[in-house]
Amino acid sequence: MSKIWSFHGGIHPPENKQQSLQRPLEALPLPSRLVLPLQQHIGAPASPLVKVGDRVLKGQPIAEPTGFVSAYLHAPTSGTVVDLVDHSVPHPSGMTAPCVVIEPDGEERWIELQGVDDYRSLEKHELAERIRHAGIAGMGGAGFPTEIKLHLSDDHIINTLIINGVECEPYITADDMLMRERADEIIGGIEIAAHLLTPTHVLMGIEDNKPEAARAMTEAARRSRIDIEVVVVPTKYPSGGERQLVKLLTGVEVPSGKIPADIGIVVQNVGTLAAVYNAVHFGKPLISRITTITGEAASRPGNREVLIGTPISDLLAHAGVDPNRLTRLVMGGPMMGYALGNANVPLIKTSNCIIAGAADEFPPAPPAQNCIRCGACEQVCPAELLPQQLHWFAKGREYDKALNFNLLDCIECGACSYVCPSNIPLVQYYRHAKGEIRREQAEQRKAEQARIRFEARNERLEREKTEKEARRKARAEAAAKAQAAKKDDAVTSAPKADPEAALKAAKTAAAVARTKLKKAEKALQIARDSGESDLAALEAEVSAQQQKVAASEAALKAAESTAPAKTPDIKELKLAAATARTKVTKTEKALADAEAKALPSAEKLRSSLATLRSKADAAQHALAAAEQSARPAAPAEATAAATADLKQLKSNAAILRTKLKKARKAIEAGDSSAELAQQVTELEPQLASAEQALAAAQAQQPPHTGPDLKALKSAVAIARTKVKKAQKALDEAGDNDDLRAELAQLQQQAAAADAALEAAQQATESP
C-alpha cells in the first residue's frame, strides 16, 4: 500500500449514492430519435460527414475532427439521418448547437468492426490513431480527446499513470457500477494506456465509500500482466479532481497553469479506459456510456447503459421520474453539475449523471446575506485560495486583483459555496469573473490587433503617398533630363539608341526652338516699335535662335530619315486629319469673316486655305489607306476602338448633361443673365446631338458586347439608394414640394434604370 498524501480543505456533503446502487445496471430501450451534438468534447466541433437522408450503420463515423483537439462522432445505431439542425444541448446557458439527428431503424446493423488482438505489434501512433477514430473523449466530465493524452510528444516523459476511480461527487455511481461490472475492461484499457505511455508506476485511486468496486478492481488488477496498484483513499470531496488526486496519490502538486503531463503524470478516468479497451480490441467506437439517473423525483433510480444522443426525457421516463415533483434537473453531480432548463437535451459522452431533484431535495437558494468573513470557505478550499477575498474582488469587478489572488487556480468545485453561512453564490461569482477576464483578455488582444492593423494601414498609406510623390518627382526629373538630352541631341544630332524616341525628341526640340525663335522675334519687334536701345542684343538673340531652329530642323530631318518606316498609326492619322479639318474650317470661317469685312488679309487666307485643304485631303487619304490596311489585320482593335468611341460618346454626353444641369441650376438660383440662357440654348442641341450619337453608336455596337449588366445593376442600386435617401429626407423634412419633386424624379430614374436592367438581362438571357 503506497502512502496517501492529503490536500487542503475539502468537505463531506451527504453522499446519497445508495439510491442509485439498489438496482443492477440496465440498458435503456432504443429511443425513437437520437440527437448528437457535433461538440461533445473540449476543442473544435466536429464537422459532419453525412447529410440529411443518408442511411447510417451502427458505429459509422458521422462527423470528423476539425483540428488537433477535436473528436470523431459515430452513429450510435443504424438508421437514417433525418436532420442537421441547431438543437438545445447540455450546457448551462441552455443555448443550441449544431446536431445530427438520427432516426433509428431498429435493426442495429453494425459496420464491419476491426479490432486487434495484439495491439503491442502496432506502432504507437497507429494505436493512438485507432483510439482517435473511436471518438473517445474523457468521460469523467471534461471531455478532453483521449488519444492526445495517451500519445504525447517526446518532451513529455510520463512516470506515473493515475486511474481516476474516485467519483467523489455525491449521487453519482456510474464509475462505481462500471468498476463492479467491467473491471476487466478497465484493466485492459489501463494496459493499453500503460503500453502507450510506458510509466513506471500505475496507480488507481478509489474512495473508501466504494469497497465493492475497490475489491473488484484489486481482484482484476492481480490478474493483469502489469503492476497496477489500487489505492483506497478516504472519502472527501473533491478528491476526484485531477489536481487533488495527483496530490493525494503522489504528494506533488501540478504547477499552476500547467497540466499533469508537464510533471510526468497522466490521469485517466475509468470509463475512458474501458472505452479505449473496446476501441482497440474490438474496434468499437464510443457510442454508449453508463449514466446514473437518480434524485428524489425518480422512482426507479439506478445506472443505465445509454446510447450517446439519447434524449434525457427518455431516460427520465425509464427511471419513472414524476414530472410534478421534478423541480431541478441537474446534469453531473450536485456540486459541479449544471441545472438544465428542459429535458429535451441529449446525453453526451461526458454525461455521467442526471439528477431529477425534487423541491425539498434542492430548495431554491435563499437570498445571500453579507459576508461576515468567517473564513469557512478558506478552510475548505482545496486550491488554498482566499475565496472571500476573491468574492470581494469579483463583486467589485476588480479583476486584476482577483487574478493576483489566483482566481484562475479555482477549480469551481463548489466547496466554498457549500459551506458559506451567508449563502453567497461564490462559485457563480468566480465563473462570471473568469468569463469576464477571458472576455477582457480577448478584447485586449483584439484591440492590440486593431492597433497594429491601424498602424500598418497608416504606414501603407504614407508609403503609397511617398511612393507617388517619388514617382512624380522621378517623372519630372526624367522629363527634365530628357529635355537636357534633347538639347544636346539637337546640337550633336545623331540619335543612337531609339530612333523613334529620338525622332520625337527631335521634333519637340525643333518645335521648342521655333517657339523660342518666335518669341525672340516678337521681343525684337516690340523693342523696335518702342525704340529700345538694346536692339543689337535682341537681334543677336534672334539670329542665334534662327540658327538653333535650323540645327534642330536638320536634326529632325536626320532623325526622320533614320527612323524606321513604321506602319501608319491610325490614331495619329486620325488626329492629323481632324486637326487638318479643324484648321480648314477655322480658316474658312476666318476667310468668310475677312471677306465680309473686305480685309486685305483675305487673299492670304484664301491661299492658306487651299494649302490646308489639300493637306486635310492628304491626311484623310492617308487615314483611309491606313484604316484599310489595318482593318483586316486588327478587327479586335477596331471593336475596341468602337467601344472606346462609345465610351467617349458617353462621357461627352455626360459632360454636356452636367454642364447643362449646372447652367440650369445657376439660372434657377437666380442668375438669369443672358449669357447663361445662351449657354443653355447652345448646350441643349449639343446634348441632343451627343445623345443621338451615343444612341447610334450603341445601336451599332455588335450585339455580343451587349449592355453592361454590371454597370446597369450598380446604376439601379444607386438609383434605388438615392430614392431611399430622398424618401428619408422627405420623411424627416415633412411636407416639402422640392423634395417631393426630386423624389418623383428619382423614382422615375430608378424605374427607368430598373427597366433597362430588365431589358438587358432578357437580352443576355435570350441568346
Where in 330-349 is the site for another protein (CB under 8 A)?
A: 330, 332, 334-342
Q: Which residues of 27-46 are buried (b: 16+ CB within 10 A; e: fewer)?
A: ebebbebbbbbbbbbbbebb
Tell me the window of 147-155, 357-365, 491-499, 637-645 that interacts with another protein (CB under 8 A).
Answer: 357-365
Q: How far apart are CB 421 and another protein at their closest, in Å?
A: 5
Q: How far apart are CB 465 and another protein at their closest, in Å?
A: 14
Residue 122 C-beta-side C-alpha neighbours within 13 Å: 18
400 binds another protein (CB under 8 A): yes
Chain positions 217 to 246 lying near another protein, rule: CB under 8 A, are: 243
Among 427, 520, 555, 580, binds another protein (CB under 8 A): 427
CA 757 from chain centre, in angstroms, equals 33
Residue closer to another protein by CB (options 228, 261) is 261
371 binds another protein (CB under 8 A): yes
Q: How far apart are CB 259 and another protein at their closest, in Å?
A: 11
Residues near another protein (CB under 8 A), total: 114
Residue closer to another protein by CB (options 330, 594) is 330
- Which residues make beta-bridge pairs with 232? 206
CB 61 within 8 A of CB 55: no
714 binds another protein (CB under 8 A): yes
418 binds another protein (CB under 8 A): yes
Closest by Cα among 356, 287, 299, 288 to 326? 356
Chain positions 159 to 198 lying near another protein, rule: CB under 8 A, are: 170
CA distance 636 to 552: 39
CB 667 within 8 A of CB 680: yes
CA angle 422, 426, 394 (to 5 degrees): 115
Q: What are phi and psi of 334, to 5 degrees?
A: -75, -15
Q: How far apart are CB 414 and another protein at their closest, in Å?
A: 3
The grid coordinates listed for 20 are: 442509485
388 binds another protein (CB under 8 A): yes
Chain positions 305 to 324 lying near another protein, rule: CB under 8 A, are: 323-324
Quick one: three-class SS letters along 379-404? Answer: HHCCCCCCHHHHHHHHHCCCHHHHHH
18 binds another protein (CB under 8 A): no
3-state class of 597 per DSSP?
Answer: helix
Among 450, 484, 537, 733, binds another protein (CB under 8 A): 450
Among 4, 5, 6, 13, binds another protein (CB under 8 A): 13
Among 56, 228, 312, 326, binds another protein (CB under 8 A): 326
Site string for another protein, 673-712 (x = CB under 8 A): -------------------------------------x--
Site string for another protein, 48-87 (x = CB under 8 A): ----------------------------------------
CA distance 600 to 606: 11
Among 54, 167, 242, 412, binds another protein (CB under 8 A): 412
Q: How far apart are CB 448 and another protein at their closest, in Å?
A: 7
- Which residues make beta-bridge pairs with 293? 302, 354
Chain positions 23 to 42 lying near another protein, rule: CB under 8 A, are: 39
Residue closer to another protein by CB (options 451, 557) is 451
CA distance 169 to 414: 11
Exposed, middle or buried by CB within 10 Å (0-12, 13-18, 19+), for 632? Answer: exposed
List alpha helices for 90-241, DSSP H. Answer: 124-133, 146-150, 174-181, 183-197, 211-223
Q: How far apart are CB 645 and another protein at their closest, in Å?
A: 22
Q: What are phi and psi of 157, to 5 degrees?
A: -105, 120
Chain positions 247 to 286 lying near another protein, rule: CB under 8 A, are: 247, 253-258
370 binds another protein (CB under 8 A): yes
Site string for another protein, 722-741 (x = CB under 8 A): --x-----------------
